[in-house]
Amino acid sequence: MVSRRRKLREAVVRALFQLDFRPDEFNDILQDMLSDEKISELKKDVERYLRNIHENKEKIDETISKYLLNWDFGRVSYIDRSILRLGAYELLYEMDVPIEVTLDEMVEIAKKYGSEESGKFVNGVLDKIAKAEAPKEKFNL
């Protein structure tokens, strides 16, 4: 059975993926997501995550870009980019989620939705972000 948190994360990744193609339609994509019966018990969390990522997108993207060695952010696949945005958001802003949990979850989602190399790629980038940028409190969770 899929955990509540996994359902939340997968819903957020799907919405972020859509936003890359329809960047001016945040409210429409948010409403579509919130009307999905499969996530009814997660609506508040999905909305909070999406709004926070949307509001901090520039900072999140800059952080990700800083740790893409020899790689341009624009060349990252849309699905990997969505997973990295969610992972970076959790690492930087969700104070109750342990770093290891975020890394493990993002790798699993990348393996499920991305390419053969996505898991390693996502893990490498997010691990660097965690070590350099995650708030100190998160290291004690």
pLDDT exceeds 80 at position 84: yes
Q: What is the pLDDT of residue 119?
A: 95
CB 109 within 8 A of CB 83: yes
Which pLDDT belongs to residue 99? 95
Q: What is the pLDDT of residues 18-74, one digit of tens each?
A: 999 999 999 999 999 889 888 888 999 999 999 999 999 999 999 999 999 888 898
How far is Cα 59 from Cα 97, in angstroms, rounded to an integer?
20
**Cβ neighbour number for residue 23 with a 10 Å cutoff:** 11
Please tell me the distance from the alpha carbon of residue 29 to that of residue 14, in angstroms, as a whole number: 10
Q: Taking the chain, what is the end-to-end CA distance rounded to the nearest angstrom?
A: 25
Q: For the residues of 35-86, what is the DSSP string, one character each? A: T-GGGGGGHHHHHHHHHHHHHTHHHHHHHHHHT-TT--GGGS-HHHHHHHHH
What pLDDT, on a 0 to 100 scale, did the predictor assign at position 38? Answer: 83
Which residue ranges form the domains of the chain, and what is each CATH number? 4-136 (1.10.940.10)
Contact indicator for 83, 114 with CB cutoff of 8 Å: yes
pTM, whole model, 2 decimals?
A: 0.94
Report pLDDT digits (tens) over 100-123.
999 999 999 999 999 999 999 999
**Separation CA 44–CA 34 (nearest Å):** 9
pLDDT attached to residue 1: 64
> What pLDDT score was predicted for residue 4?
87
